[in-house]
A and B are shown apart, each in its own frame.
Chain A
């Protein structure tokens, strides 16, 4: 008797569209799927998905656990309940589709492979950041907006390596600095006085 009451109670908690799913055809007859298992699946499953919407109005579905682990902003949104699973999507007007997809890739890989050894992860990160300056800038803006600490640090490290130990002309080329803004006299003097930087 009690079991029936519990089941009815749980069915009451389910939204109507899901209650409908509790009925499935088995061997020609319509059989009720155990609702408590469906509810438990919804509440406890790490495969719960959330929707992220890019500036181009494209929707990306991603595991909630993955984004919550990496993005402070998304974590806060879900914790304080402002995100409603059934209806909302999180609008990210500052992030375009291409960048959002990359960000999701990064978070997903790092969640699923966090037990890998350091060298493998670093190799993957290096490959991931093998993009041009514009791509890097977009990723930086997105990571900053979503507050993804480890991605930010990774990008800072990449930009740092573009500068470290390199001559001025090379850095200018990498950064696409076409017009340095110095007068010819200033530039010449710099080169003469500090030749080891050039």
Chain B
């Protein structure tokens, strides 16, 4: 009954839509009807992935055919996921060079295998590039010159031992995603006044001798979003500029045991952030050094904290420094193991704080507790918060995945009878992997098992 109205859209519009598709799907539309037969040939954006084709020989033949049949010689965007050496004829180099030109705005290369840098230099001097992704093993580690005046987004992959000064040579850079192997980078210095979003992620197989990163230096005063994940290696020093515009920060750094001086400096630099997530290792040094000075997080609305061994004292101290905190998410990582039934017998180290933290009394809206174990200190902490949180709306509890029904019931019963300072507080209980409603408060949970692994 319907008409083929989509095909009646103008060529340019249909081609624009095709440019969002993997190229193999775009080319496939030529079989839809006569109308669609040659539309894909107007494409100037290409996305080739060997996964869809499999066989190297056919992949090379496909890409060559598509590129040779295109109507416009200028390519605006090229995305290529394949092996670095598909054939004896340097196919990848051929395609990259076909794309390089004054109209190229985006290039995303994810190549498996060693790459000789004969076309890499040309990529780094393609002045029209706005977004660049390069994930590959570069054999030569010197990019001789960098001229990327328009580059806003840069993603560099593992095993790319490049000179990070290239960051400074990109005056418009706003987003940097750097995945690296720490054994290549004893020092990391990043200097960029324009940078707004930074992701620094270590990706490496765990060795027995963990390399130590001596120094990380980040000078990016306009940073709004920061994500550092370095749990495999250890950091000795961290030197960072203040971040007055920080909106969201997520930190997972393992400090070398005795070198924790930089932790308070890091917290101070992040003190203007609105959202903060602290990973297990980071909080571990907060716990181990109880005299660490916390700055005041005057704008902090959301705090996610992963604690390996629960310490209510540190939590309360932190809460006292976050006067406007609305959302508190605690992940009790590493306390109980699968099937561990023994209750903790050590005495609780809970001490009643002198005064109720301001945020608990007047701002805390949402409290989430993951991997809640049934033990004394956690329960006392929870009881304290529930009693004093006068505006708490939602309290979500995730029990351990190994917990038996009886155990869960017991926990839930205990919690339901705790006095609540807030009359509108609803309790929701979940287990990892599945969830069920206890109240009609509305489900807004997520299934991520280990939140500190979010990248």
A156–B5 touching, CB < 8 Å: no
Q: Are B17 and A159 in contact (CB under 8 A)?
A: yes
Q: Check: B210 CB closer than 8 A to any chain A CB.
A: no
User: Could you tell me if B4 and A178 are in contact, using CB atoms closer than 8 angstroms?
Assistant: yes
CB-CB under 8 A for A165 and B6, given A160-B20, A171-B32, A180-B34: no
B448 part of interface (Cβ distance < 8 Å): no
Cα distance A136–B4 when bound, in Å? 12
Q: Let me know if B31 is at the binding interface, CB within 8 A.
A: yes
List, in ascending order, chain A residues with CB within 8 A of B97's CB: none
Contact between chains at B17 and A175 (CB < 8 Å): no
Which chain A residues lie closer than 8 Å to B21 at the CB level?
A: 160, 163-164
Q: Point out the residues of chain A lying under 8 angstroms from B4, CB to CB.
A: 133, 175-178
In the complex, B264 has a CB within 8 A of chain A? no
> Is A177 touching B32 in the complex (CB atoms < 8 A)?
yes
Complex Cα–Cα for A186 and B444 (A) = 52
**Which residues B32-54 have CB closer than 8 A to chain A?**
32-35
A177 in contact with B2 given A156-B20, A160-B21, A163-B25 (CB within 8 Å): no
In the complex, A57 Cα to B153 Cα: how many Å? Answer: 47
CB closest residue in chain A, given B3: A176
Please indicate the chain B residues that have their CB under 8 angstroms from the CB of A137 in the complex: 5-6, 8-9
Q: How far is the CA of A162 from the CA of B35 in the complex (A)?
A: 17
Query: Given that A140-B9, A181-B33 are contacting pairs, would A134 and B17 also be in contact in the complex, using a CB cutoff of 8 Å?
Result: no
Q: Which residues of B contact A166 (CB under 8 A)?
A: 25
Do A134 and B3 have beta carbons less than 8 Å apart?
A: yes
Tell me the A77-133 residues at the B interface (CB within 8 Å): 117, 132-133
- The reply to whether A134 and B5 form a contact with Cβ atoms under 8 Å apart is yes
Interface size class of B (residues with CB under 8 A): 20 to 34
B450 to nearest A CB, angstroms?
20
Bound-state Cα–Cα, A160 to B9, Å? 14
A12–B4 Cα gap in the complex (Å)? 59
- The verdict on A117 contacting B31 (CB below 8 Å), with A156-B16, A176-B5, A178-B4 known, is no
Min CB distance, B219 to chain A, in Å?
A: 31
Q: Please give, as numbers and ranges, the residues of chain A lying within 8 Å of B5 by CB-CB distance.
A: 133-134, 137, 176
Give every chain A residue within 8 A of B9 (Cβ-Cβ): 137, 140
- Of B17, B28, B34, the residue contacting A168 (CB under 8 A) is B28
Write out, one digit per residue, whether chain A residues 27-53 have a CB within 8 A of any chain B CB (1) or not (0): 000000000000000000000000000
- Give the chain B neighbours of A190 by CB distance below 8 A: 31
With CB as the reference atom, state the residue of chain B lying closest to A171. B32
The answer to whether B7 has its CB under 8 Å from any CB of chain A is yes
Determine whether the beta carbon of B7 is less than 8 Å from that of A157.
no
B3 to chain A: which residues have CB within 8 Å?
133-134, 176
- Cβ-based interface call for A17 (8 A): no
Q: How far is the CB of A184 from chain B (nearest CB, A)?
A: 14
**CB-nearest residue of chain B to A140:** B9
The 10 A-B residue pairs with the shortest CB-CB distance, nearest first, are: A181-B34, A180-B33, A176-B2, A137-B5, A176-B4, A197-B28, A160-B20, A177-B4, A175-B6, A168-B31
25 contacts between A and B (CB under 8 A): A133-B3, A133-B4, A133-B5, A133-B6, A134-B2, A134-B3, A140-B9, A157-B20, A160-B17, A160-B20, A163-B17, A163-B25, A163-B28, A165-B25, A166-B25, A175-B7, A175-B32, A176-B3, A177-B4, A180-B32, A181-B35, A194-B28, A194-B31, A197-B31, A198-B31
A residues at B contact (CB < 8 Å): 117, 132-134, 136-137, 140, 156-157, 159-160, 162-166, 168, 171-172, 175-182, 190, 194, 197-198
Beyond the given A137-B6, A171-B32, please list 10 additional residue pairs across the A-B interface where CB-CB is below 8 A. A137-B9, A163-B21, A168-B31, A171-B29, A175-B6, A176-B5, A180-B34, A181-B33, A182-B33, A194-B28
Give B residues with C-beta under 8 Å from A.
Answer: 2-9, 16-18, 20-22, 25-26, 28-29, 31-35, 444
